[in-house]
Structure 1
């Protein structure tokens, strides 16, 4: 099934179009990078749709609004974790906004794993969120291990049963290496294979 998707011209065109958007993000300004970071903060323990709606509700207020305003906006647009995520967004803004791209891009250009380690210093950013952020700003050598990818790997027999909600760092890297091995069979970067798997699991390309 996955091989047929990878070889399907229409699906491949949609995936590569999304990849081009991520590459454009890489060339974009600090505001775009921080918006992508905020999105990844919002996706943790939430669905893509919920996070995307919340991000759109916030708009440019992620760059200047105080915590109470951010919290109230998240609450008004029915985002579940409005208290915690408002705190994380403000903490991230105080910690990295204005220097996010200048600090992360040189690292990621040379060593994406090192850039991911740096991002883990941001409250609310774990391995999945850091990998997601880097992929969305144009780096494709890290895996975004979520339940869809776990389910895919279990179904093809690449891994056994596991608890996706409590992945240790070492377990995450093990699964990432499994996916890299699968990606190499398709001559793809693991961050691009992710989009095909997501389409295979959800029939959408939205990440």
Structure 2
């Protein structure tokens, strides 16, 4: 059992419970959209979602959504590097050259995504982190949540700030993620998930709303 500041922990639980009264329908609708991508989407839908997670790293979710609209799922699979760079510059991406290169280099995985999602989610996450350019623990978790998996946490700067504010962690991590560090943070959120009776994947949407006032993806 992980021990926190009990008062602050339950203050956060109460805040989530209050939010649930007002945004639960929106959360459930958004999560059903995630599940539909994972269950009914084709391999290009899945690759578009993987590219979204690559593009939002050190950027913003709304920008990633715009990129999906501008480039399209077929564009992620077929555009040249120069075309991708041009599109990413048009929408103001911070790292158009690097991200375009990652998208090109990762196309080998398109054919494997459907089968990967049928395997153990934790092993799939490890595989993505190890083998896909631009994908770390947060990005792999983000992708898997966005295709309907509920039992993993997306630990980004917004979530970490909430964890720090409510004394779930002492300090914000100052260096890159490794498996041990990521799992330790995820285990803290599992306690919050268990007590709030909200799955980790959906809990992220509530915490994101607390930090940003919106439900994105």
Q: Normalising to structure 1: TM-score of the pair?
A: 0.92
Aligned residue in 2 for 1:30 = 43
Aligned length: 202
1:6 corresponding residue in structure 2: 17
1:96-107 map, 5 Å? 96-102=109-115, 104-107=116-119
How much has 1:205 moved relative to structure 2?
0.5
Aligned mates of 1:147, 1:40 — CA distance in 2: 15
Asked if structure 1 preserves the Cα contact closer than 8 Å seen for 2:189 and 2:200, the reply is: yes
Q: Unpaired segments of 5 or more residues in structure 1?
A: none
User: Where does 1:1-207 land on structure 2 (aligned, <5 Å)?
Assistant: 2-7=13-18, 8-27=20-39, 28-59=41-72, 60-93=74-107, 95-102=108-115, 104-107=116-119, 111-120=120-129, 121-163=131-173, 166-207=176-217
TM-score by length of 2: 0.88
The Cα RMSD (Å) is 1.5
Please list the CA deviations of residues 14-42 of structure 1 after superposition, one character each: whole Å capped at 9, or x if unmatched.
11111111111111211211110010110
User: Contact conserved, 2:137 with 2:177, CA < 8 A, in 1?
Assistant: no
Q: Cα offset for 1:48?
A: 1.0
Q: Give me the whole-angstrom Cα distance separating, in 2, the residues matched to 1:24 and 1:133.
A: 14
Larger relative contact order (C-alpha < 8 A, sep ≥ 6)? 2
- Aligned 8 A contact 2:137 2:179 in 1: yes
State whether residues 146 and 164 of structure 1, in contact with CA within 8 Å, keep that contact through their aligned partners in structure 2: no
C-alpha contact 1:183 1:193 (8 A) present in aligned 2: yes
Deviation at 1:160, TM superposition (A): 0.8
Any gaps of 5 or more consecutive residues in structure 2?
Answer: 1-11
d(CA) in 2 for partners of 1:55 and 1:79?
Answer: 12
Cα shift at 1:4: 4.0
Note the C-alpha offset of 1:166. Answer: 2.5
Counterpart CA distance in 1 for 2:192 and 2:16 is 14
TM-fit CA distance, 1:163: 2.8
**Post-superposition shift, 1:6?**
3.3
